[in-house]
Amino acid sequence: MNGLECYISCLIESSLLLPIIIMIGFISIFLFRFIKKRNFESLLLSQTLITGVITISLIAMSCTMFNWLWIYLGIILIGSLMIFIIKNLLDNEIDENIINSISFVYEFEKEFNVPIQIIDSQRIKAFHYRKRIYLSIGLLERLEKEEIRAVIAHEIYHLKYSPNKIVSSLLAISSLTFRRYNDEKSADKYAVKITGVNNLINALKKLHIKNYEKRISRLSS
């Protein structure tokens, strides 16, 4: 009996395992493919369910001949451990020169109640890291105040609501869906809600952000 035959016979001979797997599988596929308003929660739920189904079936069958499934479990385990270590033990600072005092951003810090750090660079940079928002002088130089507000609001969304990229990647691999949630659209919507559509469109145009034409047409429609 080869690995696949062993796997199939284990599934057929168990009374409850097969129906449970089929049911959870259908729910997962439905959540992943057919929900109209596909958001991070639905993707996360379906990926967790798919991961769970694979893991439960593996443990329930104890099929030693199907070794690659154990490798799969190992990836999940090592990946989870790595996320835990990265998040809790390492405290890497970003590799950028920071300008310590700049009065220009105080009012934004007050308004959004989040620390904003200024990067000493002419390049256009805006990102969040460890509960802080980072903006470069190059970006501040190019934009009007309201446009800077739109960029900050976009980053605030990522800071507050976006999933951890490592967790998303791990789930995408472990569930075999290979799909990571991209929430730029939601962050844009959030920024528009706070600062108005024109400010974000102007900022995207001025900064020539990657895919900016696509994003602008989405915001304009």
Partner 1 sequence: MVKLERINLEKKGLTKFFSPNEGRILELLWKNRKMTSPDIQFVCNDLSLACVSGTLDRLVKSGFVNRKLDETEKRVRYIYSPSGDRKNVGNKISTKILESLVDTFGESTLDSIGKISKKGR
> How far is the C-alpha of 134 from the C-alpha of 155, rounded, in Å?
9
Give least dist CB 146 to partner 1, A. 12
Among 124, 187, 194, 201, binds partner 1 (CB under 8 A): 124
Site for partner 1 in 138-157 (CB under 8 A): 138, 140-142, 145
> How far is the C-alpha of 120 from the C-alpha of 138, rounded, in Å?
8
Q: Which is nearer to partner 1, 23 or 94 (CB)?
A: 94
Cβ 98 vs Cβ 130: under 8 Å: no
Q: Which is nearer to partner 1, 44 or 99 (CB)?
A: 99
Q: Should residue 103 be labelled a site residue for partner 1 when binding is judged by CB under 8 A? A: yes
Q: Should residue 160 be labelled a site residue for partner 1 when binding is judged by CB under 8 A? A: no
Q: Should residue 110 be labelled a site residue for partner 1 when binding is judged by CB under 8 A? A: no
From the list 59-67, 109-117, 137-145, 185-193, the region that binds partner 1 by CB under 8 A is: 137-145
Report the residue count for the chain: 221
> How far is the C-alpha of 35 from the C-alpha of 41, rounded, in Å?
11
Angle formed at CA 161 by CA 156 and CA 167, multiple of 5 degrees: 125
The 10 Å Cβ neighbour count of residue 132 is 15
Among 17, 29, 207, 219, binds partner 1 (CB under 8 A): 207
